[in-house]
Chain A
């Protein structure tokens, strides 16, 4: 009875509300909760990866100065040159006997910093059993 007494405009607005709810709001809501779940799963996977490398903290944004400071504690020579579009060319001097250390460093680099390594490593032998490793980092 109350519905019958309601004005036409009120009914139109109500029907419009239901249509908007079904067509726009509910799909948005479902997508949101699906994305939240996906994010949580991926976050857990990433944390597991980090823990397997002995890293507790979250990855930080790349900072050239901080990167140099931390990397120089591991290797004798480290050079970082900025390129275009948030990319950096990194050159590291590695003792051939300490390749494992370099591999471990490379394996953990994207867990420590929000960066991606270009799929190309260049090794060149220098004197005294030293290897010069060149690669490109791109910030995420």
Chain B
């Protein structure tokens, strides 16, 4: 079979400071596992390059990983504000956020989902405590064939086997206080060999525990083996980015998704859409949050804009009104200017006609406030000359005898 046709599952997860990578060829009879590769956390880029190389070699792939976050719990309601995966008819795994650290991943599982997948056929109407040991954490859930009733995550780091067993027992007692039921038996899935823990648990709980041991890679290869299996229990399938907001610190991770068929349609990362919708206002709120970690309300953000809005509003109002009044001032100044000019023109015209009086008769005149140009018939030359000279000193006064014994005059004021 050529690479193009092979369905390959790539699995990776981080335990302590190491990334573990594996891939397997999926066949009708199960999967054929290749060698496990290990990368130190400082070699993350190398890990990503290796995954990219596998992607280029096998186009038909799924990249599966496991969420080892301790803040997971199983609920019977879907939480739209958190990363959610449906793992049972009425059960969902919910966790605060998903942090893939930019490592390509298409299928992301919860240990609870892996536990359920492992033991779902064994469940009946009797209460069973399912325990998964993943990365030094115990993922526990009380389940029947009807539902998952309760879940806990217990960290074992720094604790002795005895202390861990006591905590498991305390969890059982806590559940008894809620439901008045003890687990009838315990199923345990361990990903690391831990015979001492098993021994102590058996002693502490006085119950027969049948462990199943498998490594995380194999469990993930199994989960991603068929689209039907994957679609029943994934935290997410398709996402471009997700955001983690923690005390104002924003981290953005990116992952690619290559889903197959309709296998993952019912899986949602409910928080994604809400984060994207709220992103602009969240950014705004962060800007206004300053160094305080307290809640910044919409009212506080809007209130900060009030002074600048008020000032800009007032400025715009006065600017607009000023433009209008300025136009009115210019208009009224033009009218006053025109009126003053008219009065000056009338005054000059009146003076000229008064100066001519009965000494002359006008034939043609051009009058302005700057100069005058007159032509007419004159009868009293000296009185006219004197009158015009009194008005326009230094003007050019010319007389010209006409053939009909009359005398024509012309006068031009000195410019």
Contact = CB atoms under 8 A, between A and B. Distances in A.
B304 A123 contact: no
A25 B311 contact: yes
B365 A32 contact: no
25 contacts: A6-B290, A7-B288, A7-B290, A7-B292, A9-B288, A10-B304, A13-B304, A13-B305, A17-B308, A29-B314, A32-B322, A99-B349, A106-B342, A106-B349, A111-B339, A114-B331, A117-B338, A117-B342, A119-B341, A119-B345, A119-B368, A119-B369, A120-B368, A121-B345, A124-B363
A49 B343 CA distance: 11
Given A42-B336, A121-B368, A131-B362, A8 B290 contact: yes
B281 interface: no
A122 B366 contact: yes
A17 to B, nearest CB: 4
B326 interface: yes
Interface of A: 5-10, 13-14, 16-17, 20-21, 24-25, 28-29, 31-32, 35-36, 38-39, 42-43, 45-46, 49, 59, 99, 103, 106-107, 109-111, 114-117, 119-125, 131, 140
Given A13-B307, A14-B307, A107 B329 contact: no
Contacts of B311: 17, 20-21, 25
A125 B364 contact: yes
Interface of B: 287-290, 292, 296, 304-305, 307-308, 310-312, 314-315, 318-319, 321-322, 325-326, 328-329, 331-339, 341-343, 345-346, 349-350, 353, 361-370, 376
Nearest to B337: A116
Contact of A20 (B315, B322, B350, B365): B315
A17 B335 contact: no
Contacts of B333: 42
Contacts of B346: 103, 106-107
B362 A125 contact: yes
A29 B366 CA distance: 48
Contacts of A29: 314, 318
B304 A38 contact: no
Given A9-B304, A39-B332, 4 more contacts: A7-B289, A9-B288, A119-B370, A120-B366
Chain A contact surface mostly = helix
Contacts of A17: 307-308, 310-311
B307 A46 contact: no
B313 to A, nearest CB: 9
Given A20-B315, A28-B322, A107-B346, A123 B367 contact: yes
Contacts of A42: 329, 332-333, 336
Contact of A140 (B315, B331, B366): B331
Contacts of B296: 7
Contacts of A43: 332
Given A28-B318, A116-B341, A35 B369 contact: no
Contacts of B318: 25, 28-29, 32
A49 B333 CA distance: 13
Contacts of B290: 6-10
Contacts of A131: 362
A125 B365 CA distance: 9
B342, B343, B365 — which one has the most chain A CB atoms within 10 A of its CB? B342
Given A42-B336, A117-B341, A119-B341, A35 B364 contact: no
B336 A7 contact: no
Contacts of B343: 107
A46 B336 contact: yes
A62 B39 CA distance: 92
Contacts of A115: 338
A124 B304 CA distance: 75
B64 to A, nearest CB: 43
A77 to B, nearest CB: 18
Contact of B339 (A7, A14, A110, A119): A110
